[in-house]
Each structure stands twice: as structure tokens, then as C-alpha cells.
Amino acid sequence: MGKTFSEKVFSGKAGRDVRAGEIVTLEPDYILTHDNTAAILRKLPEIGATRLKYPERAVVVLDHVTPAADSTHAANHKSIREFVADQGIHNFYDVGRGVCHQIMVEEHYAYPGRLILGSDSHTTTAGAVGAFAAGIGRTEAAGIWVTGELWLRCPDTMRIVFRGKLRRFASSKDLALTIIGRIGADGALYRAVEFSCETGDQFSISDRMALCNLAAEMGAKNGYFAPDETVAEFLGETRNEFRHLRSDPDAQYVEELAFNLAEVEPVVAAPHAVDNIHPVGDLAGKRIDQALVGTCTNGRIEDLRSAANVLTGRTVASHVRLLVFPASAKVYRQALEEGIVRTLLDAGAVWMNPGCGPCLGAHEGALAPGEVCISTANRNFKGRMGHPDSEIYLASPATVAASAIKGEIASPEEYF
Amino acid sequence: MGRIFKYGDDVNTDVLFPGKHTYTVTDPQEMAQHALEDLDPEFATKVKPGDIIVAGKNFGCGSSREQAVLALKYSGVAAVIAESFARIYYRNCINSALPALALPEAARALNSGDEAEVDLAAGVVRTSRGEYTFAPFPPEVQAILDAGGLIEYLRDRFAK
Ligand code: SF4
């Protein structure tokens, strides 16, 4: 019987045949940590260890509460800087470089067939270029630092096939939310999700990142697109040398689902669950206070272009704050070069520094009681962006931009 | 026997332990005070050592934050029984040696006010509504539980 992508990566790492369901101890190629590095490094003395086994495999990105919101965060950041210098960790990205999951792909840590673990649930994003990437806990990250390895269960695989083409005003975000709406927040629990497009659209790396990012909200262990020509080109390879990583034609899937892209419409995830999906039209007219474009889900240049497309020559409603967080400094620079910075400024947007922003409710735009935010992020849990009595609606960059103009939830369709 | 606190599906890590506290609240006692605060504000004052949480599907979905497990552990919660668990949460439970049992039947049958106790060695949950058995953990996992958590497991490994 053939192997799935996950079985191939696990077998390659284990040096023997590994099948779904088996538990194996593996050495990841990279272990990603962010602001939580401060808490993780404090575990070393508890464990009785002092040095990282492979400092070259650690990637540390300061992104969550950056620049530091107060002296507690500042002290955490300081301890991290001292730690990376002391341990000889060269893969360190200080305040302002970008969101960790963006860095993993942008800086090519994510690479076909690599095993990437991160102490953050959206580590799955790196599956966009054909890495096996999964989130783990903090203590596990400390364990990998000092032992180089971790036990993992090789997941069953669920295949999601796309056919056709997305309409202009619908995006990969709408598609991802539509999938979550159909299968639920636990629809892919413990599983690998293999995305593939059989006809029509060639998903960009950015689209793939959004889908793999949101695989975490399906409960998946990892999400991925098999590495193809688009990936090879993105990595600067002249040929696609990654075909052997594709799932075999006779590989075993636990479930297969198909989506017709032409039927995907702009949707919104309403409070307080990511699988509470509704067509934008059903929520049209809901007054908003804040609109957010950014985060690891939708802070890339493609997303900023999409928002700028809608906002060109228009202005944000006077009662709305539109906050824009580029996913990285690289994205920010590109937006500057393309004139997007100016377009959004003219529309009344507030440009913020690359990073997570208020996504986790700690700073830079946290919500007051009763406030409503429409955001391109990936989670709308109660209280996530600040006060428990605030509301978060999740949508595509185009829908967020359209809603910012109207001052209420609105479909982007009329702006295309 | 511990008392049961029953919740629904998709109890997420933000209601288990709010993100805004993740970098600032580190004291175990203080963490316990924030456990479940956005879902059941009275939980922290009502819970007693040995009590058990019972919930529906996808318990612990969301962030990878371990505080969402530790806040319960520091509250004295003896085990979580759910129809299913989000995978990182499940791992974090093992690593903190908080028994997480995916027992759909028990999770549906038990309610707030019922009583239960978990016998890990025997693989059984004894409750006021009957007994529910569970399969042993894989050896890799059992070793961590036996050590009392991943930190302790690693400490043993480094001491050798
Ligand atoms: S942007 Fe939000 S979801 Fe993404 S890593 Fe940062 S806090 Fe997590």
C-alpha cells in the first residue's frame, strides 16, 4: 500500500517504515518559539539542563507583544535576547521583523519534507511549502531544545480537493472558513489535512499559507499542499525535486472532501467560534468599531493588495479604526514600494508595526466592553482581543476593507 | 470522590486561561484564580481538590498555551473527561500529568453534581452513574505520566 505525505516524512526521519497511528520519536529540523521563549528558557534549570543540544535548529521570533507593551514584557524580551546570545542561537528575529509563521516561510526555514515543530498552534502554516509542521506545548519545546527530539503520532490523513476557480471577490480565506463551517472546529482533529487543487486555480504560496494556518482551526495536527512547481519556484529551485514527497496514488485517506471553488462566497465567522460561519450578506449592517488587516493568517502583500483594491479612492467610516499590521518587515517594504502604504493612509488606515498586534488581546488595539471588531485573524474566541464582552468577526481582507468603509459588516462584492 | 463540573463543546484555551494573562500571570495560585474565568466566573471559587471537569467535543481547542492546563491543575482538578480533546491540549495534559480521558459515553452521561474518581492504574473511572473503562496509554506517554510530567521525566533523564 502506498504512503501519504505524512507517512513519507515520518519514515524518512525515523529511518524505517512508519504508518499512520504509530508513535515515533523524531528529531525536528527546526523548533520555533516566540515571546514564549522567556517562559521556555526558565524551564531549563527545572529540567537540570543548561545548553541547547542543537542551537542551530532553534528559531526565535519576537512578535507577540512587540514592541513591549509594559515592563514585564520588556523584561521577558530582554531575557530572551540574553539567552539567544548566550546559547549561540543565530536564527533570532527581534521586534519588528514579522510574525513567526511568516518568518518561517519567508526565510525558507520551511522547506519540503522538513519536520518543523513550534510552540504555537499556527505552526501548521509552514505546510504551505510542503513541510510537516505542527504545534506543540512549551515544555515540549524545552524538551526538544535539550534532547533534540520528541514523540509524535503519525497522523491519519484527510484529503480536501478543490475544483474550479474562485470568483474575484472570494478568497482563500473565504474558502478556509467555508471548509471550517462545513466540517466544524474539530472536523480534522488529530489528522493531517492534505489540500490539493485538481483543476483551475493555482493557489499562491500566500493562499496556501492562509489555508494551512486555518487547518489549526479545523483541529488538524498539520495542513499541507504537496510541494509542486509553485513551491520550487518560490524557493528559487530551477526544477521541482520534491515529487517523491507527494502522497502515493494508492495512499490511504480516512476521509475525502471536495469543494467547488466557483460556489465559494464571502463569509464571516461570527462570535465566539471559528466554525460559526455565515454568508457576509446575512450579517450585513452589523455596526463595527474596529477593523483589522494583518496577522499570520492574512498579513501578506497579497492581502494588503486586496484591501487596497477595495479602499482605493475611498475612506474609512468616521467611527471606525482600521488597523493594518503587515506580517513582516519585508511585506511592509513591498507595500511601500507598491504605493499601498499611501493608498491605505489616504483612506484613513493606521499603519502598525509588523507583528501579531491585538490578535491575542494584549496591546495595540485591544477591545473595550461592547466593542465589535472585524478581523482577518484566525480566532474569534470570547475575550480574545480584550474584554470578554467584545465581539470578533473573522473575514477576508476584502470583506474587512469593505466593512471599514461602510462602518458595518459589508460584502466586498460591490467594490470589485 | 470528586464533584463534576460539566461544560459543553469546544471549550477553548482563551476561556480556560485568557491570552491577556499569558505573559504576566505566572504564580500558580494566581493562575488558578483565572481558570475558566470567561466561561464560568464562579469556577475558581467553587472548585475543590479532586474535582473533575467533564465536557463535550474538542476540549482545549485554540492556543498551545500550557497555562490552560496548569490553571486547572493548580485549581486542584484531578482529571478532565471529554468526548474528545484538541491535540495540543491533550499533549499538554500528558506533559503536566493531568489525566485527560477521551470517553464519549462517560462525557455524555455525567453531569454537574455527579461524582467521580479516576483510577489510572486500573484504567477505570468510577462514578455515581456507573463505571467507565479506558485503554492503557502508549509506553512513551505512560513514562511521562509515571514521572509526574515532562519536566520531571526530562530531569530524570538528565540526572542519569
Ligand atoms: S498573529 Fe495571532 S494567531 Fe498568529 S501567531 Fe500571532 S497571536 Fe498567534
Strand partners, A279: A267
pLDDT confidence of residue B86: 94
Do the domains A5-261 and A269-415 sit in the same CATH topology, yes or no?
A: yes
CB atoms within 10 A of CB B20: 21
pLDDT confidence of residue A255: 98
Q: Is the pLDDT of residue A402 over 80?
A: yes
In angstroms and rounded to an integer, the radius of gyration of the C-alpha atoms of chain A is 21
Q: Which residue has the higher pLDDT, B135 or A178?
A: A178
- For an interface test with A, the pick among B22, B24, B64 (most A C-beta atoms closer than 10 Å) comes out as B64
Instruction: Taking residues A40-66, report their average pLDDT.
Output: 97
B67 in A contact zone (CB under 8 Å): no
Q: What ipTM is given for this predicted complex?
A: 0.89
pLDDT confidence of residue A216: 97
A14 in B contact zone (CB under 8 Å): no
Fold of A269-415: Aconitase; domain 3 (3.30.499)
Place of cell 477576508: A396
Confidence of residue A79 (pLDDT cuts 50, 70, 90): very high
Tell me how far the alpha carbon of residue A295 lies from the centroid of ligand 1, in angstroms.
Answer: 6
* Segment A296-318, tens digit of pLDDT: 999 999 999 999 999 999 999 99
Site residues for ligand 1, CB cut-off 6 Å: A 64, 99, 101, 120, 122, 295-296, 356, 359-360, 377-378
E strand or H helix at A141, and its extent?
Answer: helix A138-147
Identify the domain containing residue B92 by its residue range.
2-158
pLDDT confidence of residue B19: 81
Confidence of residue B21 (pLDDT cuts 50, 70, 90): confident
Which of A35, A138, A33 is closest to A363 using CA atoms?
A35
pLDDT confidence of residue A136: 95
Q: Does domain A5-261 have CATH number 3.40.50.970?
A: no
Place of cell 520588556: A74
B24 in A contact zone (CB under 8 Å): yes
Tell me how far the alpha carbon of residue A241 lies from the centroid of ligand 1, in angstroms.
Answer: 32
pLDDT confidence of residue A200: 74
Q: Judge contact between A212 and A118, C-beta under 8 A.
A: no
User: Total structural domains in chain B?
Assistant: 1
Look at chain B and count its residues.
Answer: 160
pLDDT confidence of residue B62: 87
User: What's the rounded Cα separation, in Å, for the pair A278 and A393?
Assistant: 10
B95 in A contact zone (CB under 8 Å): yes
Instruction: Taking residues A174-201, report their average pLDDT.
Output: 94
Q: Which of A360-369, B15-24, B140-149 has the lowest mean pLDDT?
A: B15-24
Q: What is the pTM of this model?
A: 0.94
Place of cell 446575512: A282
From the alpha carbon of A297, which atom of ligand 1 is closest?
4
Question: In this complex, how many residue pairs, one in chain A and one in chain B, have their CB atoms less than 8 Å apart?
Answer: 126
* Segment A192-211, tens digit of pLDDT: 999 999 987 789 999 999 99
**CB hemisphere CA count around B45 (13 angstroms):** 3
B20 in A contact zone (CB under 8 Å): yes
Instruction: Taking residues B87-100, report their average pLDDT.
Output: 94
Choose among B10, B88, B159: nearest Cβ to A135. Answer: B88
Enumerate the domain spans of chain A.
5-261, 269-415
Q: Judge contact between A128 and A212, C-beta under 8 A.
A: yes
Work out the minimum CA distance from B21 to partner chain A, whole angstroms: 8
Q: Which of A151-160, A177-186, B18-27, B73-82 has the lowest mean pLDDT?
A: B18-27
Mean pLDDT of chain A: 97
In angstroms and rounded to an integer, the radius of gyration of the C-alpha atoms of chain B is 15
Confidence of residue B136 (pLDDT cuts 50, 70, 90): confident
- Main-chain phi, psi angles of A139, to 5 degrees: -65, -35
Whichever domain contains B23, its CATH number is 3.20.19.10
- For an interface test with B, the pick among A63, A120, A121, A359 (most B C-beta atoms closer than 10 Å) comes out as A121
Q: Is the pLDDT of residue B22 over 90?
A: no
Tell me how far the alpha carbon of residue B111 lies from the centroid of ligand 1, in angstroms.
Answer: 35
Q: Do A189 and B58 touch (CB under 8 A)?
A: yes
E strand segments, A174-240: 192-197, 222-225
* Segment A238-273, tens digit of pLDDT: 998 999 999 999 999 999 999 999 999 999 999 999
pLDDT confidence of residue A181: 98
